Structure 1
């Protein structure tokens, strides 16, 4: 599944294609797949990030989560009019990330 997901992301990246929604739940994706997703997001203009990223029920650890959130936060910091940014909905339940970490991120508004 990781290979198929990374091939899809490569196709999107090579075509310069942005998407409003990424749904990859129950796909058995691991940190390597999420790093591919982060790389794809890095290739997008800051205002073309997806509105939703659904990654629940996978094998993502804190390492993958950090890569994903770091990329999203970096790209969003490049937008000049911060007030115009809409939140990105990221679903990560039922992965290998401790619930306390997720609650902490939520409390921080991340």
Structure 2
């Protein structure tokens, strides 16, 4: 095979690849939706405040540190319950206790 034949063969192989243009507006919209979801998730996580009573219950029941109790409450609050909403009140404390016992 001559170099000319090899070049033609190489061109025929590379010509078969079709380049797809990205729709710029669609890509921008997708990135915007992703960043909005991420910022909403981080905002909801950062606004969690543990009640002293809840922290005290967990510390007394399982003899854990305050930081561990708060972390368990925060993790339990981030989970969705059966109704699709985060647990509150006694359900939140129960979920945090369950999380600590099972870990």
Q: TM-score range by the shorter chain?
A: under 0.3
Q: Which has the higher strand share?
A: 1
Q: Which structure exhibits the higher relative contact order, with contacts defined as CA atoms closer than 8 Å and separated by 6 or more residues?
A: 1
TM-score, normalised on structure 1? 0.20
Q: Which has the higher helix share?
A: 2
Instruction: Mark the structure with the bigger radius of gyration.
Output: 2
